[in-house]
Structure 1
Amino acid sequence: MTDPNDLDVRPAFSPSAAATARGVMALTCERVAATLASYELRVLPATVAQWEAGSERPNEAELLALAKSLVVPVAQLMGGRPENLQDHRIAAGLTRPAICKIIRMKEIGYTRLERANKWRADEERTGFLVRALGLSMRDLVEVSGAAEELETLLAEAVVGRWKSQLPDITRVTGLRRKRVGDVVEALSTVFPEGMDVADVPRAAVVERFWGLLGDPVADPGAPGPWLLSGRFA
């Protein structure tokens, strides 16, 4: 029978964080493997060593159990902030059935959205998701699959006519136009007009954009790409 964990992209994982956590607890790979067995997972000590070496990555069930075995938050073993819907859910320590119960959505529908990393739902379910996963506005943009578009829009805005990009940036982020405009205008003063958009340090611009906004808490009712007007199941 096919393992459902192998049907999906493996979650983010930090080999060094796992090795450090095991060292702090003074556990051998053999002991970790034995503890994982108590969660009905057959993992060899050599596999634990491969995870820490970075040559293999645990699947979702293994990662959740590993965090319990090492007595650390799941997010600590994932290294860095989650950037997609699956990793946000796993970082919160929630299985798919658990999150579906919280957001009142059928698992088949939620799974489709998670695999595409394109959250689409009404305000009520989006609110359930935001609270369950502790999402910021930036997180909500990312789990709706709009991060790459926003990155491109910001890169074009800071080296060109930023006002012409403002409607699309507002659409993608769901934020108020004036608030976004003030931040984008400030960013545009950093780069020389006419600079090649290919030379823009996109990741840095995105970080500065959200930083200047104060990394706002997600607003489930904001008119972003995630919001559907009707019911979704």
Structure 2
Amino acid sequence: MRRPPAQPNPPSPPPSPPFDAPAARRLRTALSMGPEHVAYGMRASYGLPHVTPDLVIAWERGTTAPTGSELIALAGVLWCSPGELIGRPRTLREHRISHGLAPDDVARAVGLELLAYLSMEENEEWRGTDRQSSALAELLDLSLPDFITVTGRDRKLAESLCSAVTTRWQAYVRPVAKLVPLDRRLLEVALQELHRQYQGQMVATLSWGGGSSGAGDTGQDFLDRIVEHFWTTLQSNTGQNT
């Protein structure tokens, strides 16, 4: 007896955006609304019949999180922007949702086919041109650190920075400059300062009698957070947010 052909597995739903549960409860309370009012508004105005007061309470307790469409509807009912209900966005999808934009809004604004954009968003791998990248940064109001993260350059940046602080920083000005569109002099100062910080920590740990193991732990912790240290150093050198 011939077996029926195997059915393909249904695609996994996209992950929920990071949800700020305390903010949702605070906004609802400020409007003197109960969970039942929020649930009714989402059902009546946004066509989400499955939303119940218990589900709203679960969101506010952090036991579950709304999907992207639920979050946008919730923001509408609470008279706020989706960004006010999202923790710090990191991925392209999270930044888009925080601005209340649909995928086709972004694709059209940056000059991409919708399917191409959706593929980049799903795989978290931005492959747009320089012009499209600039349009994306403007549309989503991305800071430079967010832009580097969203376009998938964090890993390469971390690798270059780790090499810069552990060897000769001068050799990595150009690789970092290819990833971070900033004045070369600013990057030189930042890399020199990071190199000084890292080497100083290693020397200090050894002089305190920590031995090679203690120095290794301290150095590895610095390297694990190297991108964070890089942005902090740039900010302190420029006196403004990057």
Aligned-partner residue type, residue 63 of structure 1: L
Return the offset for 1:93. 1.2
Residue 190 (structure 1) aligned to one of 190, 197, 202: 197
* CA distance in 1: counterparts of 2:194 and 2:59, whole angstroms: 41
| Unmatched tracts of structure 2, length 5 or more | 1-9, 203-214
Higher share of residues assigned helix: 2
Return the offset for 1:149: 3.1
**Partner of 1:44 in structure 2?**
52
What TM-score results when the alignment is normalised by the length of structure 2?
Answer: 0.78
Please give the residue correspondences for 1:73-222 in structure 2 after superposition, counting only pairs within 5 Å: 73-80=81-88, 82-193=89-200, 194=202, 196=216, 197-200=219-222, 202=225, 204-212=228-236, 213=238, 214-216=240-242
Unpaired runs of at least 5, structure 1: 217-233
Q: Kindly indicate whether the alpha-carbon contact (under 8 Å) linking 1:5 and 1:59 is maintained by their aligned counterparts in 2.
A: no
- Over 3 Å counting, the alpha-carbon distance change for 1:107 and 1:210 in structure 2 is farther
For the aligned residue pairs, the C-alpha RMSD in angstroms reads 2.4
- How far the C-alpha of 1:65 sits from its partner, in A, is 0.9
**1:219 equivalent in structure 2:** none
Deviation at 1:15, TM superposition (A): 1.0
Q: Which amino acid aligns with 2:26?
A: T
Deviation per CA, 1:87-140: give whole Å up to 9, x if none. 111111101122222223211100011112222212332232222111222222
- Give, in angstroms, the shift of residue 164 of structure 1: 3.1
2:48 counterpart SS class: coil
Deviation at 1:170, TM superposition (A): 1.9
* Contact 1:158 1:184 (C-alpha < 8 Å) held by counterparts: yes
**What is the alpha-carbon distance in structure 2 between the residues aligned to residue 10 and residue 101 of structure 1?**
24
- TM-score when normalising by structure 1: 0.81
Classify 1:205/1:156 alpha carbon distance in 2 versus 1 (closer, same or farther; 3 Å).
farther
Distance 1:204 1:131 in 2: 23
Contact 1:151 1:206 in 2 (8 A): no
Q: Percent identity?
A: 26
Instruction: Give, in whole Å, the separation in 1 of the partners of 2:27 and 2:71.
Output: 13
What is the aligned partner in structure 2 of residue 31 from structure 1?
Answer: 37
Aligned pair count reads 212
2:76 equivalent to 1:68: yes
